[in-house]
Structure 1
Amino acid sequence: MAEWPGVDCAYAASHCCSSVVRTSSFPEPLQHEVSLPMPDQPSSRSLLADWFRGHAATLTTLDPHQPVDDLEPLREIVGSARVVAVGENAHFVEEFSRARQRVLRFLAEHCGFTVLALEFGFSEAFRLEPWLQGEGDDAGLAKVSAAAADWGAADLMHWLRHHHRTSGRPLRFAGIDVPEAGGQLRPALDPVADYLREVDPDALPLLDAALEISDRFLEGSGSGAAAAPAWARLDPAEQNALTAALARLLLRLRGAEPLYVRRSSQRRFDIARRRVEAACHTDYMFHAMDALLSGRGSGADLSVREIYMAESVRWHLDRAAPGTRDLRRSPRDAHGVPLLNRIRSQSSSLCAPIPEAFDAVLAVPTVTRDRTVRF
């Protein structure tokens, strides 16, 4: 039984009809580690154009409310995968959001996936889930999650709520990200405070110390990029005190796990620990983002957020029901160099071995800023 979406396509902007291009017709992985610019010679362009014609499927619409039968080529690409990951090469693009919603619909309605794991706060998702399952009124999203309402996810959340109400196979929602995209600690630590009052009040001073420091510089911060300069204005002693309090709190939870589980449950302990881990990763990101913005960034320093999200996917999979599910020969030029070697991301081209990175690429003819996002 299939049960898990994240999703196996990435979205790329190009000047062509909306289409899904399959890159997974290749039995062996590419051996080339160095990505080269797209060749200009006509023979390479002609070869690549012919390859696209043979591997592309044109979509009839991006309207998320229309039938999704035109996405049928995805079924073979997804196959028996347990996890399907959907990406996008720029945030807050209306066409990408609509296309993603259609892909999710297809996976849920035609492929049997029943869990949606989103780049959304791990902790915040637990509060949002009851509303998605039908609690409250349809207009209450902003009261439950301002982040979901203000940052381009409102249409998706309303669709999930409607899908849960009308479908025989509702989608469970799971968050995988750090709190408020790295700009807050309270969404993760406030629920832990409630938990500690029940199972270990003696550990509360550690949490209170962390919140007392973070409240002084995180007020009104909605992202890691906004939080980092405010963190940098703290005295170094306070920066270190915040890190130490969070590290000691995490070690306290790890050391007292049997006691906590006996006083609550394994699931409640696991969620509390994951929330504290989110706070620790966010604290690290304050320093990493500040270093990046000031020109002192270290290689791979910002990857701690990606590590947390990847581990969160595994966390949910490890605790999912049995059977839960959560894409190689590519065109080459006359010299054997792969032609699928870059993808447009934001305002630049990113060199990457496309067939190794993606199983399919969904291209749209235009890109429009999502006007529902409140910057």
Structure 2
Amino acid sequence: MTLGAHPGESDAAREIRSLARPLAGTDDLDPLVERIGGARFVGIGEASHGTHEYYRWRCRLARRLIEEHGFTWIGVEGDWPDCWRINRWVRGQDDRDQDADGLLSRFERWPTWLWANQDVAEFLTWLRGWNATRPPAEAVGFYGLDVYSLWDSLSEIISWLEVHEPDAVHTARLAWRCFMPYRHNPHNYAWSTRLVPESCEPDVVALLAEVRQRTRHGDEDAFAAAQNAEVAANAERYYRVMIRGDRESWNVRDIHMADTIDRLAEHHGPRSKGMIWEHNTHVGDARATDMTRDGLVNVGQLLRERHADEGVALVGFASHRGSVLAAGAWGSPEQVLTVPDAGPSSHEGLLHNVLGTDALLLFPDARAGPWLGAWLPHRAIGVVYQPGREAGNYVPTRMGSRYDALIWLEETTALVPLHHEPRQEEPEYETEPTGF
């Protein structure tokens, strides 16, 4: 059932109506679940990092993909060490007396609200219960894909080596000592490499080679140690490149996330199926935006390029107005901010004028139509948001090429965090465009 047509509408409006289906309850996801359930990789985006409805619908979709189509892992835009603790918890392996709220309260790196919020806590509680009814081999894992956890990952590597490969601890401690003068601040380290052409790169590369060799045929904990070594090596490069103002740091980060997805798929086996939860700017194919003009790639593009024959589906989100949880500056405490009505010439403005209600839009194989093939602005809100500067939050986008489906929401509300952010004395920085 599609939403009814209006006489005299533009071709783009008629195309939107022909694709749109009402979206009110979980059962309305049936056509989407049927369409994407056979893919091996499903990317589920969000148009902001602080919107309750994006998280709620993503969790609803994830539950159905797990229950009905056997998806066995989720990779998120989060740090590996933090999410590994979640992975162990939802599998019933660690922190058995802890609840989801308590577990998520241990997130410390700003912005914690990305994962320490009520929607994620509710989903993880359900996931732990689901896993408790399944054989261990069928338990669903939860993993961090990001590259920021330099010190935490180094600490995890040392801890693993001390227990399993004590004769290799020396190599890890060399890397640790190299970073020690920078007081656990990767930006202090990055600035030093800009002033003096010396870096810790040789130490972390040597550590990566050592850990790869010693975890080649290991268990789950060895897999985690190997991934922490990958994070340490790529984090060192990411911060060193980023501080120079080189946008290549975006590619370092997204290629790392795509490589991590590949490792997770291999770890879970050739028949495994995984979901990727990230911002639209990572999930939606970069080639359908102006990112490609600047030589940028992203996870969605790399998934399609690497795994098209295995099945890749990308689902985006968009909304017209509402409120969002974000910060006015990097490292500042979170606020509930107003999201103004979308620009009338944007994708969001057009969807609002044509539909005026929540909808699910499934894209056909042929996507060169008057709306799907049009280049229009598409709103993307980062963790830093200033409603008075809305023009900078729109990314030129060809919707039909960027996603395989879009979940449209007329009005959205802010996430509810589990705790408030402390003010940071030395804030970190983010790569555009999700940080803005």
Distance in 2 separating the partners of 1:166 and 1:274: 26
Contact 2:368/2:400, CA 8 A, preserved across alignment:
no
| Secondary structure at 1:369 match in 2 | coil
CA 1:276/1:252 → structure 2, altered by over 3 Å: closer, same or farther?
same
| Secondary structure at 1:175 match in 2 | strand
Question: Which AA in structure 2 matches 1:316?
Answer: L
Distance in 2 separating the partners of 1:321 and 1:235: 40
Tell me which residue corresponds to 1:172.
140
Question: Which AA in structure 1 matches 2:97?
Answer: G
Distance in 1 separating the partners of 2:77 and 2:52: 17
Q: How does 1:29-108 map to 2 (within 5 A)?
A: 46-61=10-25, 68-108=26-66
CA 1:89/1:271 → structure 2, altered by over 3 Å: closer, same or farther?
same
Contact 2:90/2:124, CA 8 A, preserved across alignment:
yes
Query: Does 2:397 align with 1:352?
Result: yes
Tell me which residue corresponds to 1:285.
238
Distance in 2 separating the partners of 1:239 and 1:140: 43
Query: Does 2:406 align with 1:365?
Result: no
| Secondary structure at 1:120 match in 2 | coil
Structure 1 residue 354: deviation in Å? 2.2
Higher RCO (C-alpha under 8 Å, 6+ residues apart): 1
Choose which of 88, 92, 97 in structure 2 pairs with 1:136.
97
Structure 1 residue 320: deviation in Å? 1.2
Tell me which residue corresponds to 2:162.
197
CA 1:91/1:305 → structure 2, altered by over 3 Å: closer, same or farther?
same
Q: How does 1:244-255 map to 2 (within 5 A)?
A: 244-254=202-212
Contact 2:87/2:143, CA 8 A, preserved across alignment:
no
Structure 1 residue 117: deviation in Å? 1.9
Q: Percent identity?
A: 21
CA 1:133/1:319 → structure 2, altered by over 3 Å: closer, same or farther?
closer
Structure 1 residue 204: deviation in Å? 2.5
Tell me which residue corresponds to 2:366.
329
Question: Which AA in structure 1 matches 2:34?
Answer: E
CA 1:152/1:58 → structure 2, altered by over 3 Å: closer, same or farther?
same
Distance in 2 separating the partners of 1:105 and 1:149: 25
Distance in 1 separating the partners of 2:72 and 2:48: 26
Instruction: Give unmatched runs, 5+ long, in structure 2.
Output: 275-312, 314-364, 382-389, 422-436
Contact 2:71/2:140, CA 8 A, preserved across alignment:
no
Question: Which AA in structure 2 matches 1:359?
Answer: D
| Secondary structure at 1:117 match in 2 | strand
Instruction: Report the more deviating stretch, 354-363 or 199-208.
Output: 199-208
**Alignment size in residue pairs:** 307
CA 1:56/1:171 → structure 2, altered by over 3 Å: closer, same or farther?
farther
Distance in 1 separating the partners of 2:239 and 2:42: 30
Distance in 2 separating the partners of 1:325 and 1:235: 40
Question: Which AA in structure 2 matches 1:358?
Answer: Y
| Secondary structure at 1:343 match in 2 | strand
Distance in 2 separating the partners of 1:141 and 1:287: 32
Question: Which AA in structure 2 matches 1:275?
Answer: N
Question: Which AA in structure 2 matches 1:251?
Answer: A
Distance in 2 separating the partners of 1:76 and 1:199: 45
Distance in 2 separating the partners of 1:279 and 1:149: 20
Contact 2:75/2:261, CA 8 A, preserved across alignment:
yes
Structure 1 residue 177: deviation in Å? 2.0
Structure 1 residue 313: deviation in Å? 1.0
Tell me which residue corresponds to 1:242.
200
Deviations 1:26-81 (A, max 9, x none): xxxxxxxxxxxxxxxx98x71111111111122115xxxxxx11211212320411
Question: Which AA in structure 1 matches 2:369?
Answer: R
TM-score, normalised to structure 2, is: 0.61
Structure 1 residue 85: deviation in Å? 0.7
| Secondary structure at 2:394 match in 1 | strand
Contact 1:342/1:350, CA 8 A, preserved across alignment:
yes
Deviations 1:2-33 (A, max 9, x none): xxxxxxxxxxxxxxxxxx99xxxxxxxxxxxx
Structure 1 residue 145: deviation in Å? 4.2
Tell me which residue corresponds to 1:24.
none
Deviations 1:313-361 (A, max 9, x none): 111111214522224223534xx99226542222432223322221001
Distance in 2 separating the partners of 1:290 and 1:166: 43
Query: Does 2:266 align with 1:315?
Result: no
CA 1:352/1:253 → structure 2, altered by over 3 Å: closer, same or farther?
same
Contact 1:131/1:144, CA 8 A, preserved across alignment:
no
TM-score, normalised to structure 1, is: 0.70
| Secondary structure at 1:174 match in 2 | strand
Structure 1 residue 274: deviation in Å? 2.3
